[in-house]
Amino acid sequence: MKSTVLQTDGLLTGKKKVKIPFLSRWESPVAGYLFLSPWLLGFFLLTLGPILMSLYYSFTNYSLLDAPHWLGTQNYERILTEDDTFRQSIKVTLLFVLFSVPVKLIAALLVAMLLNKNIKGISFYRTMIYFPSLIGTSIAVSILWKNIFSKDGFINQALALVGIHGKSWIADPDTALGTLVLLMAWQFGSAMIIFLAGLKQIPRDLYEASSVDGASKFRQFVSITLPMLSPILLFNFVQSTINSFQMFTQAFIITNGGPVNSTYVYVMYLYERAFSKFQMGYASALAWILLVIIALVTALIFATSKYWVYYETQGGKGK
């Protein structure tokens, strides 16, 4: 009978542990790599290869039609010292990131707080509000947005009802970039869902105790909600920043970089160099510069997070 008893650590001591052959094979690291194999194959065959090739091409003159010709660092030197369009696209992109990320996060947090209520039909409302984010980067939505903010679009038709004659918002250099910022803010669904999950993890006892002490709703938001949500805010902040730096479809479809290059974002310039002028080496250098810029901005965000991100397990702000 003893041979049939399955012994576990801590329950029966001083006796040899019996392993089940069927289960013991899953203790091998091979099992983990087996489950990871689809991702590993995709990464090494479809991702790592193009990454390394683009790094090589960034040091060459390559047009897809001719063999790459080694230039060394000439592409990078030309971009950083002679390319005025590069500087303009960087300026536009930084402005877009500076305005779109805060607007998107604020909208996502406010809507998440509204949806964090136990009311009838709340699941339906959450689904409907999240739905635009599923199609937000599509060409169809970009065309719709273009029509909404055109001279005869919905915005101007609504303004005409109160006697205001609007302009073509996407044809004005002062407002064109703002329409793209609004579109990015409209796509807050993913950040909203993450904020909503974080709100549900905040203990209700904290709000009840603060109410007993006479704290107002605003004071509860500043002293409880924001600190407890700060790690999630950091995650959404980083994700939104990276996505904003890579924005392309909306600017390409809605404004095509105009008017007067006021919406000519960085990735549009990269796209034009690669697929309009077929300067693949130059475009590869632009891509790696963008990677460095995103990495530096992300590192800056993480470096400053120790001053405003609260980690409960550490008993205070990030360390």
Q: Would the pLDDT of 25 be above 70?
A: no
Q: What is the mean pLDDT of residues 57-62?
A: 94
pLDDT tier, 168 (very low <50, low <70, confident <90, very high otherwise):
confident
| DSSP states of 84-138 | HHHHHHHHHHHHHHHHHHHHHHHHHHHHHHHHSS--TTHHHHHHHHHHHHHHTTS
pLDDT in tens, 126-149: 888 887 777 766 788 888 888 889
How large is the average pLDDT for residues 236-258? 92
Residue type, 273: R
User: How is residue 203 annotated by DSSP?
Assistant: -
94-129 pLDDT, tens per residue? 999 999 999 999 999 999 998 888 778 788 888 888
277: DSSP letter: S
Angle of the 226-245 helix axis to the 280-304 helix axis, nearest 10? 170
Please state, in angstroms and rounded to a whole number, the distance separating the CA atoms of residues 76 and 56. 13
Q: Are 182 and 106 in contact (CB under 8 A)?
A: no
Q: Tell me if 76 sits within 8 A of 285, measured CB to CB.
A: yes
The alpha carbons of the chain give a radius of gyration, in whole angstroms, of 27
SS3 163: coil
pTM of the full predicted structure?
0.83
Tell me the pLDDT band of 1, cut-offs 50, 70 and 90.
very low
Question: Which uninterrupted H or E stretch holds 220?
Answer: helix 217-220
In degrees, rounded to 5, the angle at the alpha carbon of residue 233 between the alpha carbons of residues 231 and 235 is 75
Q: What are 181's strand-pairing partners?
A: none
CA dihedral of residues 104, 105, 109, 110 (deg, nearest 10): -40
In this structure, the chain runs to a length of: 319
Q: Position 264: which residue type?
A: Y
Taking alpha carbons only, the member of 260, 259, 281 closest to residue 270 is: 281
Mean residue pLDDT across the chain: 85
Sequence-ordered list of residues with C-beta below 8 angstroms from that of 160, at least 6 positions apart, any chain:
166
pLDDT at residue number 122 = 81
Q: What's residue 136's pLDDT? A: 61
Cβ atoms of 90 and 266 closer than 8 Å: yes
Residue 109 is encoded by which pair of tokens? Answer: 């947090």
Q: Which domains does the chain have, with CATH numbers?
A: 83-306 (1.10.3720.10)
List beta partners, residue 82. Answer: none
Give 53: exposed, middle or buried? Use CB within 10 Å, 0-12, 13-18, 19+.
middle
d(CA 241, CA 298): 8
Distant-in-sequence, close-in-space partners of 150: CB < 8 Å, separation ≥ 6: 156, 168, 169, 170, 171
- pLDDT score, position 5: 44
In this prediction, residue 24 carries a pLDDT of 53
Do the bridges between strand 316-317 and strand 310-311 make them parallel or antiparallel, or are there none, so unpaired? antiparallel
Using one digit for the tens of pLDDT, what is the confidence trace for 266-287?
A: 999 999 999 998 999 999 999 9
Bridge partners (DSSP) listed for residue 69? 61
Query: In the predicted model, is pLDDT for residue 312 greater than 50?
Result: yes
Question: What pLDDT is attached to residue 318?
Answer: 53
